Structures are given as C-alpha cells and as structure tokens.
Structure 1
Amino acid sequence: MRAFQGAHAQVGAPELDTGLNGRRHEDVRTNGADSTDQRLWKPQMAKLLQSPPKFLRSEWAIANKNQYHKAEAQRSKSERLVSESQRLVDEIEKSTRKSQSDVNKKIEQRLEEVRFWKKELDDKLEQLVYETEDLLAYQTRLEKALESLKEPMHITQTCLAYREKRIGIDLVHDEVDEELMKEDEIMQGVKSLLTRTLEETSEQIRLNRSAKYSLEKDLRDKFVALTIDDICFSLNNNSPNIKFSENVVRVEPNSVSLEDWLEFSNTNVEKADKQRNNSLMLKALVDRVLSQTASDQRKQCDVVDTAFKNGLKETKDARDKLAAHLAKSHLLGQMRCEQEVDEEIGCFVLVTLCTGVMEEIASQEKNITVLEKAILDQEGPAKVAHTRLENRTHRPNVELCRDVAQYRLIKEVHEITNNVARLKETLAQAQVELKGLNRRQLALQEEIQVKENTIYIDEVLCMHMRKSIPPRDGDSQGQWAGGLRPDAVC
C-alpha cells in the first residue's frame, strides 16, 4: 500500500511542475505577450487527457499473497471444526443417556417426597376443620351475648337522660348518677370486650379458613404434581406421546427452589398447627369473658338499684325537712309560736306555708296603699304652707318682717318635707319586702315542683323501667340468656 502511494506520488509530480510552469507562464502573460498565452494553454489540456494511474509490480504480488493466506486459514479452520463435531456427538450421546437415567431416579424420589407431605397435609386439614366448626358455635354465643346487652344499656342510658331532666338544685351529681355512669361504663366495657372477643373469634375463623384454603390448595397442587410426575416417570425414548415443545427449557417466573418448596409445605403445616392451638386458647378465653361480664353486670345492677332506693329516701327526707323548717319559720314570724313542727309534715305543710305567704303579700300590698295615701294626704298641708310663705313675701317695705309666724311657717314646711321623706322611705322598704315575699312564694312553689319532679323521675320512671332488665347469668332458670348450651358457664 505504501508502494502504491509512492507510485501515485511519482505520477502526480509532473502535475506539480506543470502547475509551477503555469504560474511562470502567467507571470509572462502579465507582461502582455500573446505567444506566451498559447504555450500556457497546451500543458493544461494535456493534464485533462491523461490515462488512469497503474499499479506497481510489487503491489500486484502483495495482493495475490494475501489471497493465498486467507484461503489456507479458512481450510484449516474447517478441518478443526469437523474433528471437534465428531468428538462432541460422542460426548453428548453418552451424557444424554446418563442424564436420562439420573432424571428417572430423581423423579422417583420426588414422588415419594410429595406423597409424604400430602399425607401430612391431609391430617392437619382434618384437625383444622373440626376446630373451625367449634369456633363457629362460640361466635354465635358471643353474638347473642352482645344482642342481649342492648336492652340493659338502653335502660341505663335512658335513666341517665331522665335524671338530666331534674331541675334546680336537685340536678346534683349524686350517688345514683355515679353508679348509673359506672354501670354504663361497665356495660360499655363489656360491649367493647365482647366486640373485641367476637372480632378475635371472627379473625381466628378467618385465619383457620385461610390455613384450610392453603392446605387444600397445596393438596390439590400436590395431587396434580403427583399425576404429572407419574406420567413423566413412565416416559422413555420409544413412548408414542413424546414431542418437541417450544422454549421448553425456560425458567418460569413463578418457579421456586427445592428449599422454598420444602419451606412452603412446612409453613402450611406449622400454620395449621398454630391456628389450631390458637383456637383452643380462644375458646377458653370466650368462656371466661362471658362468665365474668355477666357477673359484673349483675353486681352493678344490684348496686344501682340500691342507690336508687337510698336516693329516693334521701330526697323525700330533704323535702319533708325543708317543708317543716319553712313552716316553723312562718309560724314563728307570723304567730310568734315556739312549738316544734313534726318532721313528717309532708307536702301539705308547704302548700299551707305558701298560703300564709300569699296572705302576707296581700297585707303588705295593703300597707303600701296606706303609705301611698299618707304621702298624698301631705300634699294639702304642704301646699297651704308654701302658699302662705309665698304670699307673705309680698308685704311692703318694713312690713316684710321675719316675725314669729314667718319662722313657724318655715318650720312647718321642713316638718312636712321630712315626714314625706320618711313615708317614702317606708314605702320603698315595703315595696322591697313585697318583692321579697313574691320571690319567696315563687321559690317555695318551684321547690315543691323540683322535689316532686325528682321523685317522679327516680321512682316512677327509672325504678319502674329497671325492673324490666333481662337477667343473664345466675338467674333462677340456671340458663344463660345469650348462650347456646344450657350447661355453659355463661
């Protein structure tokens, strides 16, 4: 190639010289010689009419030698490939026979292993089905226990709502309120506990069914695998149903290793055992929960009933003592009587007291009328005194004397003014007292309504309604209202 380039360079050399000569001829032409222009044109035309360049002898020899070497290399490579192919055929035939024999043994071992795990799964499935059926019965017991809790909760909350309708000072947070709220809290806790236990039972049933589904699916898969491997184990090179398949050696994306397969089967067995043990513990828990909640409800119900009885007695005593005290005060104020008043006077004494207050109101109103009339009666004398003083101011000259009559008239005006002021002060006190009597009358009437309203709420509404609370555990029938089994603890 370098020789070819050198030859090409030699051929091109005259062209370079021609170019130089051309530049010389061009310089001559600038001097204005026509003959020089003709000599310059002839070399340029010769350049355009030249023949293609030729290769050198050395270049030709090198090209042929390259072709010989390439042909020899290709022939040697082909001979080596033929020899290697024969050796490979013999090796693969031997390896194929060995591999097929080894595969048959592995499939046989695999069949035995799958049959073992299938037997384990069958046993666990039978045990799990039995525990799940038992848990369904416990689930029903919990549902009935929750249903039987609705009525007591409604009664307790209704009692609390009724007692919120107490009025005045009787709207007190007493022992009954505390025990009712505690009862509601207990029943809310019982409801929460039963609901949580029911949820745990439902969840355990779901877990059991999930484990059962896993076992059944694993069993179905193992049955199919056994069928397929049995067919595979029976195949040989002369079997009529063998054929080629496309991309048969592909690795399935959902395939697993042998360790994963063993772990999967063992996990299903352990999961079934775990759920079975959890079911046994949960059944014992349900029995304890139902028994304890029923006992707590019954005890608190008795406490609330006792608190109602004590509260009613206390309210009636307070009403009667207040009536007796007010009646005694009235008798001392109006009659100046010091005798004792019986503590068991009752509501009639309060009504009598109200009647006395009303009489006192009428008396005070009459007193106010008298005072107002007395004030009006002072207007005449006051006008006379004022007129006299005004007239005496018109006396002429020295007759305008501050005599005894003048001083007495001035004193009379002051006396009348002071008397009217005293009457007005007394009138104001009487009006204040009248307002106090009116307020006291209203207070007594309201107090009667407050006490009677409280007694009506506790005795008529609440106590009567609480008698309808249905019993649970420990009733006279010896049965549990929310259970399925007559011999159950709850």
Structure 2
Amino acid sequence: MELIGSTLTATYARPKTSHFLPAISTMASSYRNTQPALAMNPSANLWRTNSYYKSSSAVPATSSIQRENLDLVRANTMFYPSNRSALTTRYTPDDWYKSNQNNYRESESSRKSAERLRKDTLRLMQDREQLTRRTQENTSKNIGERLNDIIFWRSELSHEIDNMVTEIAALNEVKRRLERALAETEGPLQVSQECLYHREKRMSIDLVHDDVEKDLIKEVSVIKSCQERMRRHLDRAVAQLASNRAAQHELERDMSDKVAAQRIDDRCHHLRNTSDGIGYYRGIDRLDPSLSLPDSWSKFTDDNILHSQSERAASHKLRDEIEILLNTTSNEMWNQFNSVNVAFTNRISETADTKNSLQTHLAKTLQEIFQTEMLIESLKKALRDKECPLKVAQTRLEERTRRPNVELCRDNPHHRLVSEVREIEDTIHKLQERLIEAENTLQTLVKTKVTLEHDLSIKANSLFLDQEKCMSMRKSFPSMPRLVGYT
C-alpha cells in the first residue's frame, strides 16, 4: 500500500505459480540493438532470442544511432508476423489483477494480527502486574523465615566455639610435656636419615632398593616404633591439635558467614519498591552463585557442630593416653643398628667385586673395538678397489653407444658389460651393507665401553658413600640411659 502523496511506482511481482511467463524488463536498455550489423542491414536475421534479452558489449557511439536501432526493433516486432511472438512474454491482465488481490489480502491479514496483538498485550500486562505483586510478598515472607533460621544456628555455633577453645588450651599443655620427654630420642633417628640421604646420591643403576636401604628404612621404622607410644602420640597430638583448630576455624568461618548473611538478608527483608539503593543488574537472574540448598545449608552447620564435638571427644581421649605414655625400650633399636652395619659390610664387599669384573670386561671391549676398526678400514679399501672396474665397464658401455647405424646392436659384449656393471654394483652394495653393519657394531661397542666406564665411576661413588660417608657416621650410638630419657 502506498502512502497518500507519495509517487506511485509501478511494481510487478513474479507469480509464485510455475505456469506464468517470466517478467520482461520495461527499461529502455532492454530494447537496445545488441548487434550493430542489424542496424546496418535490415534484411538480415531480425529475430534472435538471445540478443533480445542480453546486453551487447558493442554499443554505438552516438545517441542517434541508438534511437534508430530501437525504432527498428520495435517496428520489426510489431509489424512482422514472424516476430510478434515476443509480445507473449509480457505480463497478462490476469497477472496484474491477481497481484492486486494478493496485496489486498495481505493488508487485511496484517491489520487483524495487529488488533489481536494489542488486546493480548493489555491482558498480559494486567496479569503480570498482579503476579509480580504476589511474588514480591512471598519473597519477603521467605526472607523473614530465613532470618529466624540464621539466628538459631548462630547461637549453636557460639556455644560450640567456646567449648573448643577450652579443649585446645588443655591439649597444648599435654603436647609440650610430651615433646620434652621425646627430645633425647632424636639422635639415632637423625643418623639413619642421614645415611638414607647420602645413599640417595648414588647414581644410575646403583640407585637400587638394596638390603642396606631396606634395613635403613626398617631402622627408621624401628626407632620410631621404639618411641611409638611417645612419638606416635605426639604426632597424634599435633594432628589432633590441627584438627581441633581446623574445626574451630570452620565454626568461626561459618559464624562469620552467618553474621554476613543475616546482615544482608535483613537489609533485603526491609527493601521496598520505594527504597533507596535499588537498581538494575542486567543478567543477574541468569547467574546462580549459590552452592547449597536449604537442606544442605542446615546440614552443613549441623555437620560442623557434630564434627567439632567429635574432635573434642577424640582430643580428651588422647590427653588421657598421653598421661600414661612415658615408658620406652631400646633393645629393638640396638638390634636393628647391628643389622644395618652387617648389611653395609656385605654390600661394600659385593660392590668391590663387581667393580673388578667391570674392569675386566672393559679391557676386552677395548680390544674388540680395535679389531672392528681394522675391519672397517678393510671394507673401505675394498670399496675403493671396486671403483675403477666399475668405471671401466660403464665407460665401455658409454663408448659403444656411439656405434653408427646398424652397428649399434645388442651383441654378446653388450650383454656381458651390462652383467659386469650389475655384478660390480651388487658387490659394492653388499660391501656397503657390511660396512654399515660393521660401523653399527663399532657404535655398539663404543656405547658399551662408555657404559662400562660410567658404571665403574658409579661403583666407585657407591663405595665412597657406603664406606666413607655412612659407616663413619655409625661408629657411635646413644647409650641406654639416654634412650630411655635420662640425662
């Protein structure tokens, strides 16, 4: 539909059905002569369908020639019966009428849709206003109930925090008493750990989990086991103290979260549509930063309180056990000390024997490397000796290719020369393969030599660590009175 006062422009829509003819452009360019030869020779072929629809690249230079060509095409179309079929490609009156009817129907349909939308929108606005008011009232009520729950759990948390602080102070006092009793048993443990530390400096294959290392690890375990009722309870006290403080931290953090949540929910409970500080936060409804549900929220605080009560009970039991824990023994420490020394002696002897065997194998490997190098030189010389015969044979073949005309035939000498070239090339190929194999063998021998030399240095390092570092540290051991805690 055109607006009143606007310039009406004829527009044609191509029908959607397939039985209508295609549209013909009404622009003047559609009637231009596409062939200059047609204007110059009227008796020529005047009807060419392709030229009628296509634009020509050869356009006359002057406007007068264009007009003459246009008139000539129109005259030929209108007055010659053979060319009047071009008129059938235009729109028909029935097409024009159907286009107008289609515009009327579309106009009525759009008006009805707009009227339905207007009525539905007014009804929607009223419904949503009532829904928004009810939702806001329910939300305020829920926030008030939430505040009551927060106040209840705050009082429970405060009571449990006071009890935990008292228990932590009592456990700290018992822990200090146990540390003083345990101080004298650290010397043997430090010696064993130093031996393990020095043996970690062993290199490559010697860094094995051998009998010495097993006995040293066992010695550390035995020393700790001999202190078990002291050291184990001290570790338990440290761990229990950490657990108590962790439980207290969780309670205090939960309490802090409850205080912050109560403050925020109280402010939200008093917010109204006329309150200050309200504003738009685009997309906030699509974010869900919550980590819990109402059930899991209350269960979280209840679990924190139950966990704190459980830790307090375990702490009280541990204090009772520590009170009776001051008796130790030293027999197992002495037995394991002697066992480790025997293992060190055996390992040192075994390492020395292995070092001597490695030196013997290294000497044999060096001899084999020398012989393999001589073999490689022989193979290289054999390859050089085959170069001249191959050159002779290939030169003969090349010279015989210059024989003229029919003399250039495949005679017996030619076949023999070809066979000779192939035999020499096969020989060279086999010698090269053998040379590569020998070089690979040499590389393997060199790697073996390097490995043996490296292993010898490893064994020397291991002997130094076991004899000089470890055994020198194990010449002394605390006396029995000191192990039982006497000075």
Q: Larger Cα Rg: Structure 1 or Structure 2?
A: 1
TM-score using structure 1 length = 0.45
The structure with more helix, counted as a fraction of residues: 1
